Structure 1
Amino acid sequence: MASAREAESENDSDGEASEDIERQAMDYVSRVLSTVTLQDKASRPPHSLPTGAQEEDIQYGSLDMKKSPVSGEDGDVTSLLLLLPLELILYILSYLDARFILSVLPLVCRTFRDIVSQEMTWRVRVQKKVSTNFPVVEQQNFDWPSACIELEEQLSHWSDNGKAECFSLADGHYASVDAVLLLQGGSLCLSGSRDRNVCLWNLRNLGKEKEKVLVKPLGKDKTGTHKGWAWSLAACENRVCSGSWDSTMKIWDIGAEGQMVQDIRGRAAILCLAYLPDILVAGSYDKRVSVYDPRASTPLIKSRKIHSSPVLCLVADDRHIVSGSEDRTLVVFDRRVNAVLQRIQLENYLFCMSYEAPQLWAGDNQGLIYVYGSHGGTFQQLRCFDVGHASQVTGIWHSAGALYTTSTDKTMKVHIPTDPPRTLSTHTHNTVVNGVSVAGRTVAAASGGQAVEIWRFPE
């Protein structure tokens, strides 16, 4: 008797015949990734809802900006500085590094500790830096100090006098690089290519020992890591999964020098992945979203055809699986009730996503960026931004203080995630840019020119 997992995996079977994977992949690229003449974006003004806080709207609580933060009863006035109005103290602190303020000033005295612990301190500081709405999606328990630090470092890194080191890793692949993933805080990098290889790079040796930067292609097969294009990558701690047009997902243990620990066969080309501690989620060419438990002897948990075209991108957390498809839908699957929660019809199809609840940022095939907010278990589109891309957005990476986008228009753009995003830098390449990954002070981009492009900032 077939197991429950096996039975569920056969749901929605349509008996599609397999075809030559190389031809299938080429047809896909021609259809989905070819540079197209875009619609007139100017005729479709960005959808916008009034969120975020302007400077005059910031709530200062019980603190009076015009008065000193210390009272006559305070016994820790160690400096005349603290007798100044709070507004002037914050102005003076704006000349200090945000990390220094957060780590050192609370140790000086109780008054400084109280100032640093106030959300208002960081909201005012951010507002002075960006002069527009931030964050795009208001949320409870937003980490204002961390967001402020990251935003200020982003502004500093990509300013005209920024000191980024740039490297082009061109000796590992002989075909277009379509996936890139930074690991261990940016000290390691993985890249997946149409040459069928997944390469491991040791970025600690950048600028030192060039021959030791490329560690090796993963796997022992001389024909390549996979038997089809290596198209997608995802990581969970020291485990990495690579997905391929050969319909397989291979799991590698980076802590064991990239040894393969599992080979999972799917039903069709694996176009996107999400890797969590308890599940591995794959979106495939046959319109399915499949869920696996790599720890189990029979990994497949369920496989459902919830789209009518190939699944191009997905993200997941402990509650939701969100997938975008060439069928121009965004589907939200609720893991807790094991059912589709939402199906959102779109004008264009989404090609890439970056998610950290409650914010979902996504790029589409018309060069636009969308922001969704999740509230009460459902997702709602809040914003649509034109950040200047002339064709498909192939990669997006978002955090509290940074935003990176790549495109088939041969550019990578660096922004701060304000409303609207403020573009700090545009890097033009000789060919398409297929994806981006960011970790710590390192940025990696996948280039159609057979290379991995690296930017690294000093400590």
Structure 2
Amino acid sequence: MASAQEAESENDSDGGNADALEREAEDYVSRVLSTVSLQASRPPHSLPMEAQGGIQYGGLDLKKSPVSGEDGEVSSPLLLLPLELILHILTYLDARFILTVLPLVCRTFRDIVSEKVTWRVRVQKKVRNNFPVVEQQNFDWPSACIELEEQLSHWSDNGRTEHFSLADGHYASVDAVLLLQGGSLCVSGSRDRNVCLWNLRNLGKDKEKVLVKPLGTDKTGTHKGWAWSLASCEDRVCSGSWDSTMKIWDIGAEGQLVQDIRGRAAILCLAYLPDILVAGSYDKRVSVYDPRASSPLIKSRKIHSSPVLSLVADDRHIVSGSEDRTLVVFDRRVNAVSQRIQLDNYLFCMSYEAPQLWAGDNQGLIHVYGSHEGTFQHLRCFDVGHASQVTGIWHSAGALYTTSTDKTMKVHIPTDPPRTLRTHTHSSVVNGVSVAGRTVAAASGGQMVEIWRFPE
């Protein structure tokens, strides 16, 4: 990437006047986020991939009791049943209870709970589809099973999910939303140029105390252009704007401004790690900053031929997607681009936790990539029912959320293919989604932040 001095020398823009910035942003939205229904032919819900093998049971014999004659006294007559029948009985118990309580009963139950096959069998009975989509070593089956079952429970017809529409903070489209502190706080960025801080602990209690404040002290707004992107690292939040700035806020200190970093073009996407802040911008660049330094810019490079729409990062890779229909992998260890993948469509949003990268494109499709030894491979393409651009995606071991300009948010189980549990239809486009703990937040083009909260 270019040196910091070279990039800084190019940075002679003050963001332009507000009207020019807004015209540029509106042109971008008209081009990239058109809400016209898609007529292009769609692929099947899943692209070919080597079939996953059957469940391997290791040394366990499902037809026999897990207690051998050498185990001495049996703590429960239940343990004299064949293991297969024991596992079936356990399906009637809550997964979290099984994981936390049964190991305390006796050694045999502890061994059953610690065996991976216990959870694989349980998951397969629940979803009856390939899971996980990307096979990986050391997959946390118990945690995935707990999360998956809680998703099924929360979003079932009998689920007790609470819903709140926060309409008091913004007077223009909300384009970014981010949950903090396990879902107790929320920040939102809007075309009204403000980034608002919300205290979700007061939901359903004191409506006037839910909106804490817009961040910053300038009466004209948090930024001088649309507040378009958000990222967080611990208690620090970075907001990126069409005014070409990134502002870092200390949420632990009541949202005080910590740093104001000026880029050279509109900031369209962000990734925030403990050691670096990564920004993708309208001028086709991916830039890396160290917010702890007095001169934060580390390097900046034009690695795309069109605006950078989405990116993710970890301690090894920076992965960026662009309107030029490429996915570029930058290897931080060797300080060079290691892979450039040409796509049929452009990726507007990403969710990444190695080795799985899930992304949504401008045709309403979901793509899954797997990473192995530094190389990313396209594994799957799913049509989950969106009629236009996928604007937001959030993936974990047991949950998948997607939002779209087709005015919907969809809740899925991340199987192959994904199983859609719920479709929420809105009066306006939905621009992004964030999930933390028991809380889900969506950014609405209808000037609102939508919140769903699950019971404990």
TM-score for the superposition, normalised by structure 2: 0.96
Could you tell me which runs of 5 or more consecutive residues in structure 1 were left unpaired when the two chains were aligned.
Answer: none
Quick one: structure 1 residues 75 and 364, their matched pair in 2 at CA, closer, same or farther if it must change by over 3 Å? Answer: same
Q: How far 1:120 moved relative to its partner?
A: 0.2
Which stretch shifts more, 129-138 or 72-81? Answer: 72-81
Alpha-carbon shift at residue 3 of structure 1 (Å): 7.5
Contact persistence 1:9–1:303 (CA under 8 A): no
**Cα distance, 1:208–1:52 mapped onto 2, change above 3 Å:** farther
Give the C-alpha shift of residue 296 in structure 1.
0.6
Matched, 1:429 2:426: yes
| Per-residue CA distance 1:374-427 (angstroms, 9 max, x = gap) | 012111100000000000000000000000000000000000000000000000
Matches within 5 A, 1:139-218: 139-218=136-215
SS of structure 1 residue aligned to 2:69: coil
1:32 lines up with 2:28 in the alignment: no
Contact 1:179 1:232 (8 Å CA) reproduced: yes
- Counterpart among 67, 70, 81 of residue 70 in structure 1: 67
Which blocks of at least 5 consecutive residues in structure 2 are unaligned? none
Q: 1:454 aligns with which of 428, 451, 456?
A: 451
CA separation of 1:351 and 1:297: change in aligned 2, threshold 3 A = same
Cα deviation, residue 36, structure 1? 2.3
Tell me, in whole angstroms, the C-alpha distance in 1 between the residues paired with 2:335 and 2:16: 25
CA distance in 2, matches of 1:426, 1:379: 30
Return the match for 1:381 from 378, 381, 384.
Answer: 378
Retained in 2: the 8 A contact 1:205–1:213? yes
Q: How many pairs are equivalent? A: 454
Compute the RMSD of aligned alpha carbons. Answer: 2.6
Question: Residues 162 and 385 of structure 1: is their aligned pair in 2 closer, same or farther, counting only changes over 3 Å?
Answer: same
Does the aligned pair in 1 maintain the 2:13–2:264 contact within 8 Å? no
Q: Matched residues in 1 for 2:69 and 2:455: separation? A: 44
How much does 1:50 deviate? Answer: 6.2
Q: Is the 8 A contact 2:10 2:264 kept in 1?
A: no
CA–CA distance in 2 between the matches of 1:331 and 1:232? 20
Q: Please tell me whether the aligned partners of residues 15 and 244 of structure 2 are also in contact (alpha carbons under 8 angstroms).
A: no
Is the partner of 2:150 in helix, strand or coil? helix
In the superposition, relative to structure 1, how do residues 298 and 103 fare at CA in structure 2: closer, same or farther (>3 Å)? same
Deviation at 1:37, TM superposition (A): 3.5
* Structure-2 change in CA distance of 1:13 and 1:183 (3 Å): closer
1:76–1:110 Cα contact (<8 Å) kept: no
Q: Is contact 1:400-1:417 (8 Å) kept?
A: yes
Residue 35 of structure 1, CA deviation: 1.0
Match of 1:14 in 2: 14
Q: Is the 8 A contact 1:66 1:85 kept in 2?
A: yes
**SS at the partner of 1:191?**
strand
- Map Cα deviations across residues 139-194 of structure 1 (whole Å, 9 max, x no partner): 01000000000000000000000100100000000000000000000000000000
CA gap of 1:150–1:51, structure 2 versus 1, over 3 A, is: farther
Match of 1:53 in 2: 51
Q: How much does 1:19 deviate?
A: 9.0
2:440 pairs with 1:443 = yes
Q: Is contact 1:445–1:452 with CA below 8 Å preserved after alignment?
A: yes
> Could you tell me which residue of structure 1 aligns to residue 236 of structure 2?
239
1:80–1:431 distance in 2 versus 1, CA, 3 Å: same
Shift of 1:363: 0.3
Q: Is the 8 Å Cα contact of residues 328 and 347 (structure 1) preserved in structure 2?
A: yes
Question: 1:324 & 1:13 partners in 2: Cα distance?
Answer: 25
**SS at 1:43's partner residue?**
coil
Structure 1 range deviating more: 326-335 or 67-76: 67-76
Contact residue 52 and residue 133 of structure 1 kept, 8 A = no
Q: 1:433 to 1:355 in 2, by over 3 A?
A: same
Query: Comparing 15-24 with 322-331, which one deviates more in the overlay?
Result: 15-24
Task: Identify if the C-alpha distance between structure 1 residues 454 and 68 changes in structure 2 by more than 3 Å, giving closer, same or farther.
Answer: same
* CA deviation profile, 1:280-306 (whole Å, cap 9, x unmatched): 000000000000000011000001000
Distance 1:265 1:426 in 2: 39
Higher deviation after alignment, 250-259 or 30-39: 30-39
C-alpha displacement at 1:49, in angstroms?
Answer: 5.8
Q: Deviations over 1:197-255 (max 9, x none)?
A: 00000000000000000000000111100000000000000000000000000000000
Q: Is 1:339 matched with 2:336? A: yes
Paired with 1:51 and 1:191, the residues of 2 have a C-alpha distance of 39
In 2, the alpha carbon distance for the partners of 1:13 and 1:46 equals 46
Between 1:313-322 and 1:19-28, the stretch displaced more is: 19-28
Please, what TM-score do these two structures have when normalized by structure 1? 0.95
Moved segments of 4+, more than 3 Å: 1-19, 46-54
Alpha-carbon deviation of 1:25?
Answer: 0.3
Shift, 1:75, TM fit: 2.9
| Identity in percent | 90
Could you tell me whether the CA contact under 8 Å between 1:11 and 1:304 is conserved in 2? no
Contact residue 16 and residue 243 of structure 2 kept, 8 A: no
Change (3 A) 1:12 1:98: farther
